[in-house]
Chain A
């Protein structure tokens, strides 16, 4: 048995399209280690992405894969899961993909609590299109469409998912690789809608315009703005500003959508038989 995560690669698809220093490769490694640890067969895993740098992951991995339209990974994944609940369905999205154009699908997938794992690679920018600001760009940071500084507030994806009805919500950063692998594994095994947001670096589209020109500078910056949830909770309000808490925000067991749907079908079919 091949214990290396390279067993999951479609090697003929390499070299990949990501820029040098991009965090997506690190996260993909974590995702594959987490998948490997579940013992799932490649045939039963479905990976669905939207559009953007992160969405290219699906092209490189040897599962049932789908690279869909911008923001729509979750409704495509929902159709797949409902049609065949035995499949292990994972979506991978970027921050713009998930929280801007796909924001509605994201909150409704959480509301249904459907058994899908959503990995969100949050590099705080639209990387593929050249660095436009996203709903996750911190206030004050620069983007190609925020040349005078972003005035928007950014979303808290974890809080959004937790309040919308998800079962498992965690946030990590690309610097703490073992932690994100652990979160992703827990998310994969959770029955219900599970969300792992990962703060990632984009030295080219985010870093260059924001004076974080090298991957190392970017990673150090990410390390400086992320704080363990436990620590963050104890910080005075003024010190919380500009800091992002990481850790597990929610881990509960509540009725899952495909099971509720099946129960409904059973009840109706039973009722018909009794009539």
Chain B
């Protein structure tokens, strides 16, 4: 089969590889783990063909470190893992956040905690994605719900990481990772690519952590002649460690604000049949697919139901949800965890309507009829 054919049947993990390579990823370091290994295997085949680097490191911690090192040296870099591995990567995810080194971490979610359920889906890591590393820090996390979307959201993830100089988490789950679907592979010309901003000043005047108006500092690659210091210690605009209260406060707030104040650009969500809805489902990842079927079934039963599909999970899109809460009587949040995002939805709703969580944590994907049953119970039908 022609490799350049634009329509292919791919697994989610394979689509992630295609998206990453299209987006310009030329460095991948990883460690074997189910259900993410196909991403490393795909990269091991493809990157050497393109002159890029694939490395299987000694552990997950080293993989994350190598990805950050490679990014500093100028490569668009990525790693992929699942829950137990993501736990180990958290140390250096925090390092990437504070040093503002672009990188993408794919988490093919499986059941947890610990070794948990290696080959079954879960959405149990959505809060870990946001707060897994210690301290206040920014986070962008995207959760595609079909294989075609995996490809496009991988490209988005790389672009966001370059644009905002921050680690971006791509949250798949075992279903999305292993399911095969038709994918329209775009050409290089059809997609938007974003590269990190380069410094515009002379080398002697370069302040590596002085941000522009968008709160993102331009980035010099190691070896480009702009010599500077990169440290996980709280640092000033020169990149040097500081214990000055004002400088500490400025850095921590800027890191968070560069994502939070650019929400309009980062939030990606889709609405289905919400115009006249009295019941809204808010779902993400593979569960959003089931929910798409549920809204049709509910409407057949006369319940005006719509779906808000979240693709960007972090930063959280409070605004749309708050607006929606003024329109509907009931919001139902089905997810494969014990209500991690439903609590976030409740916060955004602020008491304007009822929020009901529907959870499954038995390793099975939530099906459309379960959500329908829950809607009917709650609607007293």
Residues of A within 8 A of B (CB): 10, 12-13, 42-44, 46, 48, 58-59, 62-69, 72, 74-84, 86-87, 104-105, 108, 261, 264-265, 268-269, 272
Contact = CB atoms under 8 A, between A and B. Distances in A.
Contact of A59 (B68, B69, B95, B229): B229
User: 10 closest A-B pairs (Cβ-Cβ)?
Assistant: A79-B69, A79-B66, A75-B65, A75-B62, A83-B73, A83-B70, A79-B70, A108-B58, A67-B231, A76-B69
Contacts of B72: 66, 79-80
B222 interface: yes
B160 interface: no
B69 A80 contact: yes
21 contacts: A12-B240, A13-B240, A43-B227, A58-B229, A59-B241, A64-B227, A64-B228, A72-B62, A72-B65, A78-B62, A79-B67, A79-B68, A79-B71, A79-B72, A80-B72, A80-B73, A83-B26, A83-B70, A83-B75, A104-B58, A104-B59
Interface size class for chain B? 35 or more
Given A59-B229, A84-B74, A69 B65 contact: yes
A136 B134 CA distance: 30
A79 B227 contact: no
B164 interface: no
A59 B59 CA distance: 27
B78 to A, nearest CB: 12
B135 interface: no
Given A48-B69, A265-B51, 5 more contacts: A64-B223, A69-B95, A76-B66, A82-B27, A264-B48
Contacts of B232: 67-69
Contacts of B229: 10, 58-59, 65-67
Contacts of A104: 58-59, 62
Contacts of A69: 65, 91-92, 95, 232
Contacts of A74: 62
Contact of B223 (A12, A43, A78, A269): A43
Contact of B61 (A75, A81, A82): A75
B127 interface: no
Contacts of B91: 69, 72
A62 B223 CA distance: 13
B9 interface: no
A140 B127 CA distance: 46
B65 A66 contact: no
A79 B222 CA distance: 12
Nearest to B230: A66
B233 A67 contact: yes
A109 to B, nearest CB: 9
Contacts of B227: 42-43, 62-65
A108 B83 CA distance: 24
Contact of B240 (A43, A59, A68, A105): A59
A33 to B, nearest CB: 20
A87 B241 contact: no
B57 A75 contact: yes
Contacts of A265: 48-49, 51
Nearest to B99: A66
B354 to A, nearest CB: 45
Contact of B55 (A76, A82, A269): A82
B331 interface: no
A64 B55 CA distance: 23
Interface string B254-280: 000000000000000000000000000
B113 interface: no
Interface string B330-355: 00000000000000000000000000
A42 B229 CA distance: 13
B223 A76 contact: no
Contacts of A59: 229, 231, 240-241
A75 B240 contact: no
B215 interface: no
A8 to B, nearest CB: 11
A82 B70 contact: yes
A46 B58 contact: no
User: Which of B26, B73, B74, B225 is the most central at the interface, judged by chain A CB atoms within 10 Å of its CB?
Assistant: B73
Given A59-B231, A62-B227, A67-B230, A108 B62 contact: yes
B69 A78 contact: yes
A84 B73 contact: yes
B219 interface: no
A74 B62 CA distance: 8
B105 to A, nearest CB: 14
B53 interface: yes
B65 A76 contact: yes
Contacts of A44: 223
A86 B92 CA distance: 25
Contacts of A72: 61-62, 65, 91-92
B29 interface: yes
A275 B296 CA distance: 51
A263 to B, nearest CB: 10
A80 B70 contact: yes
Most chain B beta-carbon neighbours within 10 Å: one of A13, A59, A79: A79
Interface in B188-234: 222-223, 225, 227-233
